[in-house]
C-alpha cells in the first residue's frame, strides 16, 4: 500500500504492517478527540517513526494515489483538525 507523509512524499508499505500502523493511528485520533496535546505529539511521532521503519520510498514518477495520508511531523493539532475537513487544503 502507498502511504503519503505530507511534506515528505509517498512510501511503499507492506500490507503486513498496515494493522500496526492503524493501531498507532487510533492513538493519534484519540489524542485529537481528547484535545490532548502531549499525547497527540507522542502518537504522531510514534506513527511516523514506525512508518519510516517499515516503508521504503515509492517510485518518484508513480501517479498512483495514496491509500493513507499522514500529517507532517511538525503539524499542530489545529492543523490536523483542519485536514480532517477540507479546510486544510488549498482551494482549486
CB of 29 to another protein, least distance (A): 5
- Nearest CB to another protein, comparing residues 7 and 14: 7
* Residues 4 and 68 sit within 8 Å (Cβ to Cβ): yes
Residues 74 and 68: their CA atoms lie apart, in Å, by 18
Rg over CA atoms, the chain: 13
CB of 7 to another protein, least distance (A): 5
Residues that bind another protein (CB under 8 A): 3-4, 6-9, 21-22, 25-26, 28-29, 32, 60-71, 80, 83-86, 88-90, 92
What cell was used for 70? 499522514
Amino acid at each position: 500500500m502507498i502511504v503519503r507523509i505530507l511534506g515528505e512524499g509517498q512510501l511503499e508499505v507492506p500490507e503486513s504492517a498496515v494493522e500496526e500502523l492503524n493501531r498507532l493511528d487510533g492513538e493519534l485520533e484519540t489524542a485529537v478527540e481528547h484535545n490532548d496535546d502531549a499525547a497527540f505529539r507522542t502518537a504522531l511521532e510514534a506513527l511516523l517513526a514506525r512508518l519510516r521503519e517499515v516503508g521504503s520510498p515509492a517510485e518518484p514518477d508513480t501517479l498512483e494515489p495514496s491509500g493513507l495520508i499522514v500529517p507532517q511531523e511538525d503539524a499542530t493539532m489545529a492543523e490536523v483538525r483542519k485536514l480532517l475537513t477540507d479546510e486544510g487544503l488549498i482551494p482549486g
